[in-house]
């Protein structure tokens, strides 16, 4: 079970997702402050996740599928807002992201996002590839990251990651 950042860290090592300390690199407090200066106060749980694995987490995600780490997040957030606004300006049906939305990941360009309004934890949402439908992907950030851990464990057991 993963209920907090300590349990997440343990599970990353015991499952073989992360083999050593060098594979697990978190964001600095300055990097997190930079995000918050642009997008709003991140939920505590997500700040902790960024502090643990914001730059690298071994085999947690495959780079070809996901945009997940700090440098990707910065680019993705700028790009997502721009693309959505351009689509709307061109008359396409597209739902703008809510105010204070911060994209925390994308799968082949389709974003998962949270609302950066300083909560302790929050839901994670997914903008479906139709650019119209926003769905709740998870009730909490910790549950969302737990899904990534379970997925990575599955692919590691299969020998595919």
Q: For residues 18-41, give the mean pLDDT.
A: 96
Q: What per-residue string of b and e applies to 44-68 under the rule 16 or more CB within 10 Å gives b?
A: ebbbbbbebbbeebbbbbeeeebbb
Query: Rounded to an integer, what is the distance from CA 103 to the centroid of its chain?
Result: 7
Share of the chain above pLDDT 90, in %: 69
- pLDDT tens-digit readout, 33-87: 999 999 999 999 999 999 999 999 999 998 777 899 999 999 989 887 787 778 7
Residue-level pLDDT at 116: 95
Asked if 71 and 114 count as a contact pair (C-beta separation under 8 A), the reply is no
Residue-level pLDDT at 99: 87
Residue-level pLDDT at 92: 81
Lowest mean pLDDT among 15-24, 113-122, 127-136, 143-152: 127-136
Within a 10 A sphere around the Cβ of 120, how many other Cβ atoms?
A: 9
Within a 10 A sphere around the Cβ of 132, how many other Cβ atoms?
A: 11
Q: For residues 107-135, give the mean pLDDT.
A: 88
Q: Residue 54: which of 38, 30, 19 has the closest Cα?
A: 30
Residue-level pLDDT at 160: 87
Q: In this structure, what token pair is assigned to residue 160?
A: 């595919």
Q: What per-residue string of b and e applies to 151-161 under the rule 16 or more CB within 10 Å gives b?
A: ebbeeeeeeeb
């Amino acid at each position: 079970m993963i209920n907090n950042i300590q349990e997440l860290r343990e599970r990353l090592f015991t499952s073989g997702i992360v083999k050593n300390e060098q594979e697990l690199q978190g964001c600095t407090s300055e990097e997190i402050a930079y995000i918050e200066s642009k997008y709003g106060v991140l939920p505590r749980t997500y700040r902790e996740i960024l502090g643990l694995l914001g730059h690298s987490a071994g085999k947690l995600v495959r780079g070809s599928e996901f945009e997940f780490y700090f440098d990707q997040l910065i680019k993705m957030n700028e790009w997502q807002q721009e693309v959505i606004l351009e689509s709307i300006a061109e008359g396409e049906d597209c739902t703008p992201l809510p105010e204070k939305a911060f994209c925390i990941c994308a799968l082949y360009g389709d974003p998962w996002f949270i609302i950066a309004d300083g909560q302790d934890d929050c839901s994670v949402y997914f903008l479906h590839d139709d650019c119209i439908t926003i769905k709740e992907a998870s009730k909490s950030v910790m549950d969302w990251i737990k899904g990534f851990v379970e997925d990575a464990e599955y692919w590691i057991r299969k020998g595919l990651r």
